[in-house]
Amino acid sequence: MIPKFNYPKEIKGKRKLYSLLKGLNNPLEVISGNHLILGDNYHIKANFTNKNFIFSQDKEFTEYILKQNHKNYYKSEIQSVTLGKYLGNGLLTNNGKVWLKQRRLIQPGFSKAKIANLISIMEEEIDQTFQSFKPEQDIDLYDLFHTLAFNIVAKTLFSSDIDENKVKELGKIITEVQEVFAKEVRLPFYSQVLKFLGVIDKTIKKSKRSKAIIQSVLDKRRSSGEEKNDLLDMLIQARYEDTQLPMSDEQLIDEMLILFIAGHETTANALSFIFFEISQNSKAEEKLKKEIAEEDEMVFTSESLMKKSFTLNIIKESMRLHSPAWAIDRQALENDSFKEYSWAKDTLIILYITGLHRNPKYWKDPNSFIPERFDDENAKNFAYYPFGAGPRLCIGEHFAMMEMALIVRKFYKNFSFISYQKELEKKALVTLRTTSLKGKITKDLI
């Protein structure tokens, strides 16, 4: 006897067709609209693949999937298979015991203490970028932050062992892989078209090229015999607990590629939204500059950057409104249930973080920029998951927060940004990004 399942309300008919087609280019608009119609949980069945999807912007449901019953959920085939064929088997795409083994191996390199040692490398790149600013300079900060964040991750990963042209080539490949991946995921039948046209094979070739670049950096480091205080050294020297053996080159390269992507993409996108929100809120900017002045010579130390502050409140509130990790996907290993709902194994769960972060059930004035809300002593219990939650909480959280705090303070210590844009266009690929942030940099009169 086939068990009956009680899925949330289902998207059907014209709305379903609209969701499948419009969702390719405007997933935020479609998913938000569906939640508006059917509530915090809804269900959709894909015609072509016969797969069941549950979308949720409910805090308790999210915590159940990511924390309470996380053992019943793997990263979905969307990431482990579709994205994995381009990026390999790193932390982002791995599952199960293999993932856990890698996580335990790499985790110590991302402790607060280890990340604090990288501040001087970050500072050097930031200072070099900001020194080039001209008075009243017109600029697209979106482009600037992508270059800056990419250079920072290149230097913290590889020190000086990779040249600028290779960094640019890696950046181009990563963007192209994301574009193809997004098309494959949102219109599954379209992946056959992409395959037929040779697009997928070409993209896999490009990803192999990115791995060859990283292999050349690895070879250069080994032949030099130098030890450098960067993440590559940490990865080379890491040893598995059970065998005391290092990672294979293939695994090492996969992990470095994942760190490269995760380490620059989400940070650069988050910074664009952070600076946009500051540009639209003069009181927040004034309060930020006051805090920077009061911190005095401690302002760029790891202790100051990571302690509770208005700087971090601004970053957190911006990431609430514009979370780069706009959705989290999981796949059920076995049949499961939560409250009144039940679903079959292999059901794909899409936790809609953008909707959760703006859900009026959990947030007062959810669409307003109010950094002070994170002063609340209960802030740890907010419906807030920009880095995920549970055992798969983003390994680079401390790295990203310290880097963003450092960039915000370095900039606003001497400069201001006047945005020419009053609204930002949003593009949801693997991460949420804008397409530009054009405006003018002004230097403060000291």
Q: Give the model's pLDDT for residue 3.
A: 63
Q: Give the model's pLDDT for residue 325.
A: 92
Q: Give 76-325+386-443's CATH code, choosing from 2.30.30.90, 1.10.630.10, 3.40.50.620, 3.40.640.10.
A: 1.10.630.10
Residue 71's nearest CA partner among 333, 343, 255 is 333
Tokens of 326: 């706009």
| pTM exceeds 0.85 for this model | yes
As assigned by CATH, the class of the 1-75+326-368 domain is alpha beta
**pLDDT (tens place) for every residue of the chain, 446 residues total:** 456 899 999 999 999 888 877 877 789 999 999 999 999 999 999 877 788 999 999 999 999 999 999 999 998 877 777 778 878 888 888 888 888 888 988 888 888 888 888 899 899 999 999 998 988 889 999 999 988 998 898 888 887 677 778 877 887 887 788 778 777 776 666 667 777 778 888 888 988 998 898 898 888 888 887 778 788 888 888 898 888 888 888 998 888 888 887 778 889 999 999 999 999 999 999 999 999 999 999 999 999 999 999 999 999 999 999 999 999 999 999 999 999 999 999 999 999 999 999 999 999 999 999 999 999 989 999 999 999 999 999 998 999 999 999 999 999 999 999 999 999 999 887 789 998 999 999 987 65
Q: Give the model's pLDDT for residue 222.
A: 85
Domain 1-75+326-368 and domain 76-325+386-443 have a common topology: no
Q: Give the model's pLDDT for residue 291.
A: 97
- What are the structural domain ranges in the chain? 1-75+326-368, 76-325+386-443
